[in-house]
Amino acid sequence: MAPRYFTVGWDQLHRDAKALAWRLIEKGPWTGVVAITRGGLIPAAIIARELECRIIETVSVITYDEEKRGDPRVAKAPAAAGDGTGWLLVDDLVDTGTTARLVRAMLPGAHFATIYAKPAGKPLVDSFVTEVSQDTWILFPWDTEAQFIPPIAKAGAAK
């Protein structure tokens, strides 16, 4: 089955991150936010602003090498989050759960929140806003750019 594509623009990402913040405000207060880089950086900044949380850490997990999935590895661990107790862990998406399992093991006490969740990874997060099917590829605004696409009639004529 061909993958489905779900394009998320900047406005929608901001609305969805703010909706996640609404769900998280009652679960705080938080010691700080740990953003999973790179996808979690922008959602974490929006959520930290909405929750008035000024302490932000990062954890970097590398699972892809030029579109090829490999064994996950930690490129940078959070320096001050301890076991995660009192911390909010933020990512843009939980997909297969590969990154989530690794980061959960590092910060078992953290509350894990993502904007989007796929079925395989959903059990690993505590809070999320939108569930998408496992075969959906989310196109985030930092990974895409607007460009001209010829009309269908012209594209067909080129063959």
Give the tokens for residue 68: 């090829």
pLDDT value, residue 1: 67
Q: What is the DSSP pairing of strand 56-65 with strand 68-76?
A: antiparallel
Q: Whole-angstrom Cα distance, residue 129 to residue 89?
A: 15
pLDDT value, residue 67: 62
| 95 catalytically annotated | yes
pLDDT value, residue 66: 60
pLDDT value, residue 63: 82
| 91 catalytically annotated | yes
Q: Which of 117, 126, 69 is nearest to 94 (CA)?
A: 117
| 143 catalytically annotated | no
**Mean pLDDT in consecutive groups of 10 residues from the start of the chain, 159 residues:** 87 98 95 96 98 96 71 88 94 95 95 98 97 95 86 68
pLDDT value, residue 158: 47
pLDDT value, residue 97: 93
* 4-145 CATH fold: Rossmann fold (3.40.50)
pLDDT value, residue 65: 62
Catalytic residue among 11, 16, 91, 126: 91
